[in-house]
Amino acid sequence: MNSDHISLHNKQFEPYLTADQLATAIGAVAARLNQDYAGQQPIFVSVLNGSFMFTADLLKAVTLDCEVCFIRVASYEGTSTTGKVKEVLGLTEELAGRPVIILEDIVDTGHTMRMLLETLGAQKPASLEVATLFLKPDCLQHPLEIRYVGLSIPNDFIVGYGLDYDGLGRNYPDVYKAV
Please list the rounded mean pLDDT of every run of 10 residues in the chain (179 residues): 78 97 98 98 95 98 96 64 60 94 95 89 96 96 94 96 94 97
What pLDDT does 115 receive? Answer: 87
User: Considering the domain boundaries, does residue 20 fall inside one?
Assistant: yes
What pLDDT does 99 receive? Answer: 98
Say how many residues make up the chain.
Answer: 179
What pLDDT does 88 receive? Answer: 46
User: Considering the domain boundaries, does residue 140 fall inside one?
Assistant: yes
User: Considering the domain boundaries, does residue 60 fall inside one?
Assistant: yes
pTM attached to this predicted model: 0.90
What pLDDT does 2 receive? Answer: 45
What pLDDT does 111 receive? Answer: 87
DSSP string across 12-43: EEEEEE-HHHHHHHHHHHHHHHHHHTTT---E
Of 36, 57, 65, 108, the active-site residue reads: 108
Q: How far is the C-alpha of 135 from the C-alpha of 12, rounded, in Å?
A: 22
The total number of structural domains that make up the chain = 1
User: Is 138 one of the catalytic residues?
Assistant: no
What pLDDT does 90 receive? Answer: 75
Range of the domain at 100: 6-178
User: Considering the domain boundaries, does residue 1 fall inside one?
Assistant: no
User: Considering the domain boundaries, does residue 148 fall inside one?
Assistant: yes
Cβ–Cβ contacts within 10 Å for residue 36, how many?
16
Strand-strand pairing, 127-135 and 99-107: parallel
User: Considering the domain boundaries, does residue 17 fall inside one?
Assistant: yes
Three-class secondary structure assignment of 41-97 = CCEEEEEECCCHHHHHHHHHHCCCCCEEEEEEEEEEECCEEEEEEEEEECCCCCCCC
Kindly report the CATH number assigned to the domain that includes residue 64.
3.40.50.2020
